[in-house]
Amino acid sequence: MLENIKCKIKQNRFLFEELVKRDFTKKYKRTVLGMLWSILGPLMTLGVMALVFTQFFGRNMEHYIIYLFCGNLLYSYFKESTGTGMTALYDNSGIFSKVNVPKYMFLISKNVSSLINFGINIIVLFIFCIIDGVPFTWKFIFLLYPIGCLVVFNLGMGLILSALYLMFRDMKYLYDIFTLLLMYLSAIFYSIDAYSQEVQYLFYLNPIYVYIRYFRKIVLEGAIPRLSFHLLAAAYALIALLIGAVIYKKKNYKFLYYI
């Protein structure tokens, strides 16, 4: 499946590059400051959260700012990637109703710019780690695993959401509410240690929490999660991608009627 998509991407490389270029030009409106904003936004959120929550949740926790950063980093990437990906199909309806192009290209090109943002913010996280005295170990390599899972998960969610948005135009508002709730459920600024074991397991139903937990385990505890945890992380990503791909495959010629 993934191989198949990869192969098609190769065929459409020129189109892909042009679309990415277009999305970048439009996003940053040809300004240098545009790029800077993508770092400043998350940093400001982090600053406010640290200011507000350190007294409540950070008292008994070492490196609370890094704890916050990990949560915020992954959650923001998910939110940005799916939020912008959601409109990918609708925004390009003028194109795919006139020219026969593979429709998932629009989504992938939008995901690229949020992935680059994410990459920049990971570097900022590492800088924070150095400042805060978090030891770097070889285990940091394992961070690539949750990152890869999240990229695939976001892609799948983007496929699902962009199709839904084309069908129901008020999806945007519903999704905003959903992401807000998701933020509170992802243990970004609090720890779930206070809950009973059963409740803690419930958190694993939230894919975003799973990816955040993985990150924290490596960065803060210097430990590699269990194998079952890896499987869970991959399963969420693949299920999302599968559902999204099936919707696109089935609806490929029907999308036209919803515009």
Binding site for another protein (CB under 8 A): 12, 14-15, 17-19, 21-22, 25-26, 94-101, 167-171, 174, 253-254, 256-259
CB 257 to another protein: min, Å: 5
For residue 86, give the nearest of 5, 153, 35, 159 by alpha carbon: 159
Q: Which residues of 26-56 are buried (b: 16+ CB within 10 A; e: fewer)?
A: ebbeeeeeeeeebeeebeeebeebbeeeeee
**CA distances for 71 relative to 60, 179, 185, 219, 225, angstroms:** 18, 14, 11, 12, 17
- Smaller CB separation from another protein, 168 or 204: 168
Q: Supply 58's token pair.
A: 């950070």
Could you tell me if 144 and 122 are in contact, meaning their C-beta atoms sit under 8 angstroms apart? no
The structure tokens listed for 221 are 């505890």
Q: What's the min distance (Å) between Cβ of 113 and another protein?
A: 15
CB of 15 to another protein, least distance (A): 4
**Residue number with CB closer to another protein (51 or 99):** 99
Indicate the residue among 142 and 248 with the shorter CB distance to another protein: 248
**CB of residue 102 to another protein, shortest distance in Å:** 10
Beta carbon nearer to another protein, 169 or 226: 169
> Of 25 and 200, which CB lies nearer to another protein in the complex structure?
25
- Joined tokens for residue 20: 């990415």
Side-chain half-sphere CA neighbours of 39 within 13 A: 12
Closest to another protein by CB, 100 or 197: 100
Closest CA to 24 of 115, 131, 136, 101: 115
**Based on C-alpha coordinates, what's the Rg of the chain?**
19
* SS3 state at 169: coil
Whether the Cβ atoms of residue 125 and residue 212 lie closer than 8 Å to each other: no
* Min separation Cβ 99 and another protein, Å: 5
CB of 97 to another protein, least distance (A): 7
Nearest approach in angstroms of CB 169 to another protein is 5
Name which of 141 and 167 has its Cβ closer to another protein: 167
